[in-house]
Amino acid sequence: MDNKKEASYKWLTMGVVTLVIFMANLNTSVVNLATSAMMKTFGASLGQIQWVISAYTLTLGVTIPSTGYLSDRCGFKRVFILAVMLFTAGSLLCGISWNVMSMIASRVIQGVGGAFIISLGLTILMTTFEKSEIGMVISIVGVCGMAAPALGPTLGGYIIENLSWRFVFFMNIPIGVVSTIMAMVILRESEHKPSKQFDLIGFLTSAAGMVCLLYVLGKSDVDWHDIKNILIMIMGCYSLLMFIVNELLIPEPMLNLRLLKNYTFCMSNIIINVALLALYGGVFLIPVFLQQIKGLSPMQAGLILFPEAIATAVAMMLYGRLGSKLDTRIFAISALILIVFNSYSMSHITLGTPNTMITLLLMIRGLGVGFLIAPVQTIGLSGISKAAMSNASALLNTVKQVGTSVGITVITSIMQHQNTINYADLAGQVNYFNPNSMNLFKMLQGLLAQGGMTQTDAQAGALSTIYGMIARQAQLQALNDTMLVISIIAGMIILPTFLLKERKQPKDKLNTLKAQ
């Protein structure tokens, strides 16, 4: 009977945590679509509305490092319930915001709740389930993590088009209320550790460093010629350096960086961040190709992207079933091979590539992502004791937050750099000495003149059409070049992944990895 009750508790806990994680991830992917509608409602500029996104990201970066301390001090249950309440209240305030400043303030509240949800969710599950069930736990959480961003564009597009952008936030309220009640009833209190001192210097230096780095790297287009961006990055790096020194010297650090002495945990963090670069590169680039280059609507693009999420969910469920029976590295290395194949194939797509082929390639990438993230996380956490799990989770999510921003910035910079080079190269071929360009120009001019335009207008229209075609072709070639770079980066981490080894932690050494 006790075994049945314990099993029921585990799965009820899984239900509560995954529902909340799904809500937070869905919100993140949907809000990006609502920025244009917010600009019209508030009469705001693009620079102002960008802070609606940045405020949430910066709050995550500042708050996540402190989650380990607060959860140890107050207990997982209390902090998690407070996090869900804050996220829900922030969603309500976002929905009723009357100007940009009130929206930004509401997003900060939402971000504090989101930080604890992201960090504590996995920690609660890892301390609830047995070590042998870790692979299955990470797989289920991963399915929720991937399903939300996949549903986001389609669901968000429908809500914004048929209702109002405010419902993007209002839909979190019933989920948040139900989740709060379930968490109060189902979750158990965890052990408190009141003796631990708050690391004020660590908090201030990490907050300053994360704000500076994420402020610059969170921009969609970073101008590295702007001295302000360079100075902010220097300040951020210096603050993080001071943070690292402080964490290694004091006995009770906010983030236990000593966990990185565990080679497997440290290497798994590096591999996951490189994998996220490949993942988010595709997430950001493919919608650009489908909508800006191929000219598809957001709904059409969403339907092409959605099967990838299904493939990811299938891969994660397969890993959940087979992960304990096979060497975890088999899944991870197979996943990297699939991602390399996908990225290399994507580097050869053209305007004539059928949508079904793009969907198939995306499903291959989805399988790769599903077989990679969960196994590598499983290996990385295999040598971490339950006592150190909250510190490990906070450290893992902090590194992922910075790594994701860096990855997106790197991919965007490569794309823009190649776009500029390709456009200049193609535009340089449009001149009187190139018979092909002149024939195209005369043909377009003739067609426009037949349509009733004057000769001057026909010439201008023909040139505009040609340079528009050049811009699309330059952007397509830049995407191809960037996907090739992603395939190379993904290929580079195959060997480090092969060298990972899942660690079985001896019972008599459990205390060696405990949080300080």
Q: Domain map of the chain by residue range?
A: 1-196, 198-251
| CA 286 – CA 369 distance, rounded (Å) | 16
Residues 6+ apart with CB under 8 A from 348: 480
Total-model pTM: 0.68
| CA 233 – CA 221 distance, rounded (Å) | 15
Given a cut of 80, whether residue 68 has pLDDT beyond it is no
| Residue 214 neighbours by CB distance under 10 Å | 23
CB 308 within 8 A of CB 365: yes
- Residues 350, 274, 308, CA angle at the centre, nearest 5°? 50
| Residue 185, both tokens | 């009833």
Burial of 111-125, coded b for 16+ CB within 10 Å and e otherwise, reads bbbbbbbbbbbbbbb
CB 99 within 8 A of CB 343: no
| Residue 211, both tokens | 């704000």
Q: What is the average per-residue pLDDT within 307-319?
A: 77
| Residue 119, both tokens | 């960090």
pLDDT (tens digit per residue) in 374-414: 777 777 777 677 667 667 777 777 777 667 666 766 777 77
Q: How far is CA 182 from the centre of its chain?
A: 27
Given a cut of 50, whether residue 278 has pLDDT beyond it is yes
CB 331 within 8 A of CB 323: yes
pLDDT grade for 134, boundaries at 50, 70 and 90:
low
| Residue 211 neighbours by CB distance under 10 Å | 19
| CA 291 – CA 298 distance, rounded (Å) | 7
CB 400 within 8 A of CB 273: yes
Q: Which helix (H) or strand (E) holds 481?
A: helix 455-492
Residues 6+ apart with CB under 8 A from 289: 349, 476, 479
| CA 176 – CA 413 distance, rounded (Å) | 37
The position carrying tokens 């799904």 is: 22
Q: What is the pLDDT of residue 88?
A: 92
| CA 443 – CA 322 distance, rounded (Å) | 61
- What Cα–Cα distance (Å) separates residue 169 from each residue in 31, 39, 156? 8, 16, 10
| Residue 318, both tokens | 């397969």
| CA 112 – CA 116 distance, rounded (Å) | 7
| Residue 72, both tokens | 């140890």
Given a cut of 80, whether residue 463 has pLDDT beyond it is no
Q: What is the pLDDT of residue 330?
A: 80
Q: Where are the alpha helices (DSSP H) in 382-454?
A: 389-427, 435-450
pLDDT grade for 509, boundaries at 50, 70 and 90:
very low
Residue range 1-196, CATH number: 1.20.1250.20
| Residue 242 neighbours by CB distance under 10 Å | 17
pLDDT grade for 506, boundaries at 50, 70 and 90:
very low
How many Cα atoms are found within 13 Å in the side-chain-facing hemisphere of 28?
A: 23
Which amino acid type is present at position 18? T
Averaged pLDDT of the chain:
75
Q: What is the average per-residue pLDDT within 93-104?
A: 87
| CA 60 – CA 5 distance, rounded (Å) | 36
- Which range has the worst mean pLDDT, 36-50, 282-296, 298-312, 444-458? 444-458
| CA 291 – CA 278 distance, rounded (Å) | 20
- What Cα–Cα distance (Å) separates residue 236 from each residue in 56, 210, 239, 294, 335? 18, 7, 5, 39, 34
